[in-house]
Each structure stands twice: as C-alpha cells, then as structure tokens.
A and B are shown apart, each in its own frame.
Chain A
C-alpha cells in the first residue's frame, strides 16, 4: 500500500493513453453489466418466485386447461397449505401492438402472492365487483388509468358470450404494487375475476389454466408434487406439479439460450479487451525501462518490480471496470423509466459485481504477465545504457 502513489503516478504518466484505455475498459464492462442483467432477468424466474409455491399445470401442453373440480381435491392433499388458480386470457388494449398480460384470478390470489401490495379496501371492492379488474401501478401509469375507469380489452382467446366477439370490458377497482423494486416487471399485468370469466366466456367449461399451491413445508415439496400428480394419473387431464421457479425457467429457456449468446458476445469483447490493454501495458513498460532500472538501482527487488507492474495493470482494469459497472447501475433505472416500465432489468446485483471484479482482476493479471516479467528480468546495466 505504501507504493500506491508510485503505481498511481506510473498509471497517469501518459494521461491520454491511460484515459483512452480506461474508456475502452469502461465500455467493455458497461456491456458486461448490461448483458449480465439480461441474463439474470432471464434466469431469475428464480428470485421472483416464492420458495413455497408450486404450479400445477397440464402435463401435455400449456394450452390445455384443468377441470375446476381438481381444486377441491388438490386442497385436500396433505402438505398443501393454501391454493389459488388462474387462467391466461391475453388480448390487447386499443391497438394490436399493445399486447397485454391479462389473467383471470380468484380473489385469494393475493394471499399466496404477498409480494404484491394492494390497499385492503380495493381488494374488498374487487371481491364485490363481478367485472372488477386490478392492474399493476406501472401499467396504470403507462396508459393513464385511474380507479373507476372502464378498460376495454380486445382480441382475447375467449369470446364473450354476451357480445359473441372478443371485446371485453372491465371496471378498474384497484391498483397493486410490487413490494420489491426488482419485480416491477410484474406490475405489467391486469387481473380480473375468474368466476366472471368462467361465466361470461362462451367456451365456459369450468376450466382453470393452472393452480398455484402453497406448501406448508418447502422441504417436502417433492412429495406433495407427487401426491398432487397422483390425483389425476391416468385421467384425461394428467398434471405436472413443479416449483414456481422451474415453471418460470422453462419459459425463459424456450426463448433461446440467452446464457450462451451472452457468453459468446462477452467472449469476443474480453478477448479484444485483453489485446488492447495488453498492448497499452507493454507500451507503458517499454517506455519506462530506464525508470524501472533506476528503481532497481536504488534497491527495489525483482519481485517488488514484478508486483508493481501487476498492480498497475490490475488497477487500470479495476478502475475502468468499476466505472463501467457503476455506470450500468445508474443507467438501468433510467432505461426502465424511459421505456415506461416495459424494459425492467434487475439492478446490478452482488453476483454481477463479484463476477465482474473477478474478471477485472483476472484480465489485469493476464495483461500484466509479460510486461511484469520484463520489468522483473531487467538487467540494470543494459537498461540504463539504453540497450
């Protein structure tokens, strides 16, 4: 640490070069931070999902429903603490481009999803209003909806029995919020009542899309899942029960191998960065050969010179990289706000910082190797003579 000022001075010996290199490192880690946020968003069905929740859906296809009669039987399964159910509805608001996540739910949905907060009187209103709907705060802000508005939805999968077409209208009775900043994306949903949906859609087969089961003991969820699946075994609506995390991950996986794409891009970026900073460090050491020789003359050991150059390389990358990751932390909320909550990426987490720091130190050491060895092996006489 006592040599810090020496390393610092060496680093900024040529300001232009160091600043330009820092900018390249910054750009690389800016990209790393953003792509890692995307990767985390895709793989974190995980963090958002409750550990004690499991999803019961059709074994054969996402589009197959389950009979509502299953609800009572699943409820009676030992180990099931609570359950609710939902049905995908789909549709768009005003224009086909504004596809929405509309889901028919039972009002006790919010007991099982405590991560949403909703004023009790609004939830009560929802229980009392047959055509009532609840929307997330981000969604309400996006369209400027207020409580009391009628919300028209078109193009859903289910035709309305009364009108014969797929135009539906709901009364907005409440607005819910995600308690955790990270889950703002979940505020893009509209919920309405399953009993109204079941009664008013012209397919009306007392079907539910999927069940959400809360287990009493997450340790025993495997056994509970088996017991639930056994209920419908060999019937024409066999189920598959899996943790909510596994359920959500299966969707992310279907979009494509985001992890692979991210690693491929970052591979290209870091390879380029390695070459670029490696060149800078080589130049820096080459220029300073007489100075390094002077240091040796006044008593610096070979090892301490080696360490000095390593420290310089690592410091260069760590400064640039931290600035890059810091910039991502500032940018992500801005992007989220600018896109009206449509593009919600999780903030840069401890995991990303840790991976990032390890990458920085690793790259720093790698680019430092050759120049550091060169500095260590300097022969004082030759170096001072300029040979």
Chain B
C-alpha cells in the first residue's frame, strides 16, 4: 500500500513536471513577468511568503560554501544555453539573409515547376515577351525595369579549406541597378557591358581566394577581371555579377534562367500573372522575390533548427541530472537546518519554494552566462553553406533578443525540473530522523 502510494505520488509529480514545462514553453514573456511580480508580492505581503523569502535568503547566502556544487549547475546550464543559442542563431542567420534578399516589390519569373534558378530556363524570345507584360514599372525613358539573368556555377578555392567550392556567377541585364537599388559599389567601379569584367559581393570576396579588385580569375577557361566590390546586405553578396550577354557567351548559353522585374506595386503581381498565363507561348510562373527566397531558406533552416533543438534537449537532460545531483546534495547538507525550521513551525511550501528559487537563480545565472558567451563568440560570425543554386551562400549568425530570451527560458525550465524533486524531498523529510542525523 505504501509503495503504491509513493508510486502514485511519483507519477503525479512527473505529470506536474511535464505539464509545467509544456506550459512554460508556450507562455509568452508578459505572462511570465506577471508571474514573477505575483511571486514577489506574495513573498513581501503574506506571512507564508515572508517565511519563504527568509528561508530562500538563508539558502542563497550559504551558496558560497557550496561553490563546487553550485558551479556545476551554472556551467551545465550555460553549456546547454550556449550551444542552443549558437545553433539557432545559425538557422536564423541563414533565414534572415535569404528572406531579406526578396521583397514584395519585385517578382521573379521562372520556368513552370522550377524550384530554383539553376533548374529553370527562359528563352530569349520569352524573356522579351515577359518584359512587355503589364504591371512592370518603367523608368524615366519608358523602358521596363527588368533583368533577364543567367546563373552559372564556377569552381574557386575557398579560403577556409583551400579546396574548390562552388561560387554563384550571375549574369545581369543593364537595368539591374534600377532593379536592385540596394546594390552599392563600395570599392572599384561597375562592370562594363561587353567586357569580361565582374563585380564581387562582399561575402564572396571574404570566403574565396583571389577575388580582390584588380585580380583576374579563370571562368570557363577565360580570364575575367574583378573591377569592383559590392554590398547589398543579402544573399547577392555571395555572388559574382557580370554582364549577362558576356557571361552567356563565355558559357555558350543561348537563353536565360530567370527574369526579375520591378512591379509598379505589390498588387500588380496579379496582373502580371494573369498576362503570363494568358499567353500560350509562355510556360512560366511568377512569384514575388520574397516568396521565392523564403522558400529557398525553409528546408535548410528547418534542418538546422531541428538539429539544434535535438542536441540541446539531450544536453539539457544531462544538465538536469547534474542539477538534481547538486541540489540533492545541498538539501542533504542542510537537512538538519530544514528540519529545525519545520520543527519550529515553518510549513512545507516555503521550504519547497526556497529550494526551487535557489535552483532557478543558479539556472538564471547559467542561462545568462551561456547566452552572453554565445553572443560574444558568434554574433555576426560569418559562415557559408551550399544553397539551393548549388553554390555557396554566405551568411552571418544572427543572435536576436528573442533568441537570448529563449535561451534564458530554457535555463529556467532546466532549473525548475532540477530543483523540484530535491525541494519535495526537503519538504517531506521526516523531522525527527532529520534532526537526529549528524
């Protein structure tokens, strides 16, 4: 009967833990803040709360005597939060870079069914037809702002590994400067159409060997000169850009791969789509560049998120066992003291709350420590990976306040789980045996 009772108690506790962690993950920050305020008010204004506060104070002020055990909790949780924040920052950074490449004001036209520019194709005649469609913004001279583009992939040695990696080479039309006004030349000059000249994105220059202005590179067995460096703050920074006709000639290509247009307004997309659909010669699909680049980032950033969270969960389980260990030891060393408190009339809740608060305080320190280390080491850390055009996409880790907050939330959740069981043990200690223990 006794065993059954303790089994019931155990499983009940387990359910409480599960439910609280689930609730904790779902609750928005504001509610949590409210809870904290409520707790503080309870501690300040009720008799039991004041008891809890004083017991907590005793625990916290003796922390220094248990430095080793306390630092196990702090470092363990800092490790979890650091790894979690760093990995999620990688996924977020990739997504941010790709998403910011697109907007609602420009549309990309690909062959029907194509998922990336590399698997698309648009003939010259079709590109001319597309440029005449309604909904496309025209410049002062009345010419539509359109860039029919060719994307090819070249092998260049990467700085970090010294081995060849794929770099995206984009042939762009003469209107590209009006189409993508965010492209700014920061060094050198623009390429001259008709000449074998390239401008290089800041990210590509950083990742690959020999892309400084003035140097020549070998593309498809022809010498090209780098004449300038550009910044755009998005995925185009991972590319080399040159005149589309010259690039086509070098790679012996007849057609284009995509046509990007500037819309008169975001609503004009529908008119453009309708016009493209009504022409039986065209088998193409138009979407905003925002939709296109969002889709490009989805797969990979989801993989990074799932991997990051899986790793963090396994680490968190390890850290919970570490915290349990430390807090059981802490409760054991203070068993007499706690029993004395109970003997002179303190009730169980203050004891439970005090152990929990102590653990969560340590967890909070660990969480902040881990998040700051991740921030110091990795914020704006530049890396590159293979993107959907089969070439390197350069991006930076992006640690947002929301991510830091998520890290702290994880830390507190670990502290909660790691503190609950020892707290309950402290509260259920039989007073007489605990007082007799040496």
Minimum CB–CB distance for B316 against chain A, Å: 9
Give 5 closest A-B pairs by Cβ, nearest first: A27-B318, A155-B113, A272-B79, A23-B321, A20-B325
Option from A35, A64, A91, A253 in Cβ contact (under 8 Å) with B220:
A64
Indicate if the CB atoms of A253 and B115 lie closer than 8 Å: no
Assuming A64-B220, A279-B326, is B112 touching A24 (CB within 8 A)? Answer: no
Indicate if the CB atoms of A20 and B321 lie closer than 8 Å: yes
Minimum CB–CB distance for B252 against chain A, Å: 8
Indicate if the CB atoms of B220 and A60 lie closer than 8 Å: yes
Bound-state CA distance A257–B328 (Å) is: 41
Indicate if the CB atoms of A275 and B75 lie closer than 8 Å: yes
Indicate if the CB atoms of A268 and B166 lie closer than 8 Å: no
Q: What are 22 contact pairs spanning A and B, CB under 8 A?
A: A20-B324, A21-B325, A23-B318, A24-B321, A24-B325, A27-B317, A60-B220, A60-B221, A61-B155, A62-B153, A159-B121, A167-B113, A254-B165, A255-B386, A257-B161, A265-B83, A269-B315, A272-B318, A275-B75, A276-B72, A283-B68, A283-B329
Option from A31, A63, A164, A273 in Cβ contact (under 8 Å) with B118:
A63
Residues in B whose Cβ lies below 8 Å from that of A59: 155, 221
Indicate if the CB atoms of A31 and B311 lie closer than 8 Å: yes
Residues in A whose Cβ lies below 8 Å from that of B219: 60
Bound-state CA distance A20–B422 (Å) is: 13
Indicate if the CB atoms of A280 and B325 lie closer than 8 Å: yes
Bound-state CA distance A217–B318 (Å) is: 51
B11 interface residue per 8 A CB criterion = no
Q: How large is the interface on A (under 10, 10 to 19, 20 to 34, 35 or more residues)?
A: 35 or more
B111 interface residue per 8 A CB criterion = yes
Interface contacts (Cβ under 8 Å), in number, total: 151
Residues in A whose Cβ lies below 8 Å from that of B166: 61-62, 254
Indicate if the CB atoms of B69 and A17 lie closer than 8 Å: no
Indicate if the CB atoms of B153 and A256 lie closer than 8 Å: no
Indicate if the CB atoms of A17 and B115 lie closer than 8 Å: no
Indicate if the CB atoms of A31 and B328 lie closer than 8 Å: no
Bound-state CA distance A167–B113 (Å) is: 9
Encoded as 1 (CB less than 8 Å from any A CB) or 0, chain B from 353 to 388 comes to: 000000000000000000000000000000111100
B95 interface residue per 8 A CB criterion = no
Residues in A whose Cβ lies below 8 Å from that of B68: 279, 282-283
Encoded as 1 (CB less than 8 Å from any B CB) or 0, chain A from 58 to 78 comes to: 011111100000000000000
Bound-state CA distance A26–B314 (Å) is: 10
Indicate if the CB atoms of A279 and B72 lie closer than 8 Å: yes
A16 interface residue per 8 A CB criterion = yes
Encoded as 1 (CB less than 8 Å from any A CB) or 0, chain B from 273 to 301 comes to: 00000000001000000000000000100
Bound-state CA distance A61–B118 (Å) is: 13
Bound-state CA distance A282–B329 (Å) is: 12
Indicate if the CB atoms of A268 and B322 lie closer than 8 Å: no
Q: Is the interface of A mostly helix, strand, loop or mixed?
A: helix
A238 interface residue per 8 A CB criterion = yes
Indicate if the CB atoms of B319 and A272 lie closer than 8 Å: yes
Bound-state CA distance A16–B329 (Å) is: 10
Residues in A whose Cβ lies below 8 Å from that of B299: 97
Option from A20, A62, A90, A236 in Cβ contact (under 8 Å) with B221:
A236
Residues in B whose Cβ lies below 8 Å from that of A387: none
Residues in B whose Cβ lies below 8 Å from that of A265: 83, 311
B148 interface residue per 8 A CB criterion = no
Assuming A27-B314, A27-B318, A272-B75, is B326 touching A165 (CB within 8 A)? Answer: no
Bound-state CA distance A63–B117 (Å) is: 13
| Extra inter-chain contacts (7) besides given A155-B114, A256-B386, CB under 8 Å | A20-B321, A21-B321, A63-B153, A256-B385, A265-B311, A269-B318, A275-B71
Bound-state CA distance A28–B9 (Å) is: 30
Residues in A whose Cβ lies below 8 Å from that of B78: 272
B223 interface residue per 8 A CB criterion = no
Indicate if the CB atoms of A257 and B324 lie closer than 8 Å: no
B152 interface residue per 8 A CB criterion = yes
Residues in B whose Cβ lies below 8 Å from that of A282: 68
Option from A63, A238, A276, A280 in Cβ contact (under 8 Å) with B390:
A63
A99 interface residue per 8 A CB criterion = yes
Encoded as 1 (CB less than 8 Å from any A CB) or 0, chain B from 139 to 177 comes to: 000000000000011110000110111100000000000
A379 interface residue per 8 A CB criterion = no
A154 interface residue per 8 A CB criterion = yes
Bound-state CA distance A27–B83 (Å) is: 15
Bound-state CA distance A275–B78 (Å) is: 12
User: Which residue of chain B lies nearest to A155 when distances are taken between CB atoms in the complex?
Assistant: B113
Minimum CB–CB distance for B223 against chain A, Å: 13
B201 interface residue per 8 A CB criterion = no
